[in-house]
């Protein structure tokens, strides 16, 4: 006998009071009419001050998740989102909040993480560095082709039969791996990116090209990546699910003719089940196999597989903060220049950015191709005082490695969202650099690591930096010095 699922309640005239993790908002609702106990409700796309009606989607004893069914009274701070795909896309969850409020929330997010998780002595946190450019700031966008366009419930209820194509070129819907929302305009990248993407879609439709079906594992068009550098150079990388040059080459020629400003036109034939291209051959159809980013006269070659901070202009601000907190702003006599380790160096952007004021920079990164890029970028910029190693950080960075290369004066740490492995923290503590500069895209895991480092280090500076307007993500840079 099947158990009937209990119906979840609707909540009326609820005030949203705050924002929370993952970009959601918060309301606190009485657990019953005669109780003073409050249940926390997490709500996407709410603004503090909204009075809303809610439908509960998930309920536990002390918390629930719900979505807004009606905004009874909008918050005074609520603003009209710019994007026509807002809420459906799921990418920019804070477009309905004014930017000055967004960065206040990010400042508080950093404060909360360091105070509640790290539980170490923290100095006054510097005001967050907001992004001067809050639209069209991304240098890289990745889109997916799909034979199954996402339809909203409103569309489904309004039409028995759809007259438009079932193909889509856009973003995966959160929680629906096989459905893609067709994008007409995205405000995160320069509008030439929209023009290129829409042109490819129209060409594919006009010429009957097949869009990939992830369940059937078939179709020609899989994904496309568009990179637009701060120098104005443009890379387009098309990824195909079939190796049919009779169809691929006319498309690529058409794209080259329609957009002669593309400086790097590439394609990949990916016959695997997943969309990653790191293990695939990149074919250069036209131009170079890389584009160039520039920063303080330094040139950074970025290829299809390279990692580069997606907000070029704000990356420069982030790296300047890192350099300043590391004490590497000023040129020193050669015999006084510090030895610097750059952990999780990626393509060596920070390492090369600070190298001119160092005796030597030693970079370590897991991805071998990224280390190839780091070495190439040193060579391009005439830097001969960098050393780069590829491998798992906890395997490369050992006490023996430090003994061989020298105890660092400064260590720059920029780990992935998961933070550092405890073995890595222990080697850092054993190496005892005078200064640590910890760059993080996840203040929560950064705070956890700061608690481990507290045995030998104290925090002297905290500087949040906003790299991703209209999202809840925030970067944070912390300077630590060795205790006396």
The residues that are catalytic are 441
Quote the Cα angle for 402-406-410, to 5°: 90
Which H or E run contains 296? none
DSSP-derived pairing of the beta strands 290-295 and 339-343: unpaired
Whether the CB-CB separation of 94 and 466 falls below 8 Å is answered with: no
Long-range contacts at 70-73 (CB < 8 A, ≥ 24 apart): 72/13
Task: Identify which of 39, 13, 16, 19 has the alpha carbon closest to the alpha carbon of residue 27.
Answer: 16
- Supply 165's token pair: 């194509």
Between helices 443-453 and 422-431, what is the axis angle to 10°? 50
- The CA distance from 343 to 439, in Å, is 10
- The CA distance from 42 to 18, in Å, is 10
Cβ neighbour number for residue 17 with a 10 Å cutoff = 13
Q: Reduced to 3 states, what is the DSSP secondary structure of residue 147?
A: coil
Between helices 245-258 and 191-206, what is the axis angle to 10°? 140
What residues contact residue 46 under an 8 Å CB cut-off, 6+ apart?
A: 16, 24, 25, 26, 27, 52, 68
């Amino acid at each position: 006998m099947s158990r009937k699922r209990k119906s979840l309640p609707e909540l009326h005239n609820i005030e949203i009071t705050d924002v929370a993790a993952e970009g959601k908002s918060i309301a606190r609702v009485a657990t019953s009419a005669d109780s003073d106990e409050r249940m926390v409700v997490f709500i996407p796309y709410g603004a503090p001050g909204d009075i809303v009606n809610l439908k509960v989607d998930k309920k536990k004893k002390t918390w629930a998740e719900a979505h807004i069914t009606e905004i009874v009274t909008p918050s005074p701070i609520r603003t009209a989102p710019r994007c026509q795909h807002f809420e459906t896309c799921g990418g920019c969850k804070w477009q309905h909040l004014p930017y000055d409020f967004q960065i206040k929330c990010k400042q508080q997010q950093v404060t909360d993480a360091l105070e509640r998780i790290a539980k170490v002595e923290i100095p006054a946190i510097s005001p967050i560095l907001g992004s001067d450019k809050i639209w069209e700031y991304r240098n890289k966008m990745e889109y997916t082709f799909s034979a199954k366009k996402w339809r909203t419930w409103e569309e489904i209820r309004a039409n028995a039969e759809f007259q438009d194509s079932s193909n889509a070129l856009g973003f995966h819907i959160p929680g629906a791996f096989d459905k893609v929302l067709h994008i007409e305009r995205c405000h995160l990248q320069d509008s030439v990116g929209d023009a290129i993407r829409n042109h490819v879609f129209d060409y594919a439709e006009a010429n009957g090209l097949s869009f990939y079906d992830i369940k059937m594992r078939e179709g020609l068009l899989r994904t496309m990546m568009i990179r637009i550098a701060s120098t104005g150079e443009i890379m387009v990388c098309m990824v195909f699910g079939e190796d049919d040059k009779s169809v691929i080459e006319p498309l690529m020629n058409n794209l080259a003719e329609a957009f002669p400003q593309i400086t790097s036109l590439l394609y990949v034939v990916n016959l695997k089940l997943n969309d990653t291209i790191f293990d695939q051959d990149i074919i250069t159809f036209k131009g170079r196999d890389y584009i160039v980013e520039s920063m303080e006269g330094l040139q950074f070659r970025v290829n299809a597989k390279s990692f580069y901070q997606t907000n070029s202009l704000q990356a420069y601000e982030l790296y300047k903060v890192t350099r300043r907190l590391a004490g590497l702003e000023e040129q020193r006599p050669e015999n006084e220049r510090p030895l610097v380790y750059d952990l999780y160096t990626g393509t060596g952007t920070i390492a090369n950015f600070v190298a001119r004021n160092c005796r030597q920079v030693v970079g370590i990164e897991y991805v071998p191709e990224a280390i190839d890029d780091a070495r190439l970028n040193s060579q391009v910029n005439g830097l001969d005082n960098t050393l780069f190693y590829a491998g798992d950080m906890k395997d490369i960075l050992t006490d023996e490695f430090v003994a061989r290369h020298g105890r660092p004066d400064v260590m720059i740490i920029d780990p992935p969202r998961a933070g550092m492995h405890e073995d890595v923290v222990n080697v850092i503590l054993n190496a005892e650099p005078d200064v640590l500069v910890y760059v993080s895209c996840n203040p929560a895991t950064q705070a956890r690591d700061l608690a481990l480092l507290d045995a030998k280090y104290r925090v002297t500076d905290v500087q949040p930096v906003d790299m991703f307007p209209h999202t809840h993500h925030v970067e944070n840079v912390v300077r630590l010095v060795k205790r006396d």
